[in-house]
Amino acid sequence: MPQDDECPLYDVGISEGDNYYKDNADYIYDENSRIYYNKNTYNEQNKKIIGKRVLNEGEPCNLFNEKLWSTFIFNEAGESHLKCGLEIFGKISDNRYTKIGDISYYMIYKDNIDYEYYFLFSEIETRSKYLSLYKREFFE
């Protein structure tokens, strides 16, 4: 990016009920979407550009297209699996990512599925399982 251009997004995450981002002057927290992101006043030195975000049940896998996601009644995530398939140098996940928040399957489904289907999911089961948002920065 040209040196004088502002990068609109340095930090982003999800938060289900965490008050830290609601009261932090550097962030905008949208309660409806449970997302926080930096304001223009975000003043961290050596800011990095976020290159990739992954919503996953556990640390992201080495394979780009592999997602760890539970299914409950539909095949909503494609083929459900909770194990990474590719091992590289003894590691089955990509530890270059930073965890930046958690959200329950319950909230994901409540916010994104029509009510006629939403009630089919077990509230107890989906409230007790969480997805995490991970980010990976590529450039400084």
Q: Lowest mean pLDDT: which of 54-63, 74-83, 110-119?
A: 74-83
Q: Is 6 inside a domain boundary?
A: no
Phi–psi pair at 112, nearest 5 degrees: -125, -5
Residue 72: pLDDT over 90: no
- The DSSP H or E segment spanning 21 is helix 20-23
Report how far residue 113's alpha carbon sits from residue 120's, in angstroms, rounded to the nearest whole number: 11
Domain count, the chain: 1
Q: Is 2 inside a domain boundary?
A: no
Q: Which of these, 99, 98, 108, 102, lies nearest to 17 by C-alpha position?
A: 102
Return the pLDDT at 63: 87
| Whether the Cβ atoms of residue 122 and residue 36 lie closer than 8 Å to each other | no
Q: Is 3 inside a domain boundary?
A: no
Return the pLDDT at 2: 60
Q: Is 92 inside a domain boundary?
A: yes
What is the CB neighbour count within 10 angstroms for residue 61?
Answer: 21
Q: 91 is in which domain, residue-wise? A: 12-139
Return the pLDDT at 59: 92
Taking phi first (over 0 means left), then psi (-120 to 50 degrees means alpha), and beta for anything else, what does residue 58 get?
left
Which residue would you say has higher pLDDT here, 4 or 83?
83
Q: Lowest mean pLDDT: which of 17-26, 49-58, 67-76?
A: 17-26
Q: Is 77 inside a domain boundary?
A: yes
Q: Is 1 inside a domain boundary?
A: no
Return the pLDDT at 21: 66
Which residue would you say has higher pLDDT here, 75 or 90?
90
β-pairing, 49-56 vs 27-30, is unpaired
Read off the pLDDT of residues 45-65 as tens digits, 9 standing for 90 and up: 666 666 788 889 989 999 888
Q: Is 19 inside a domain boundary?
A: yes
Q: Is 5 inside a domain boundary?
A: no
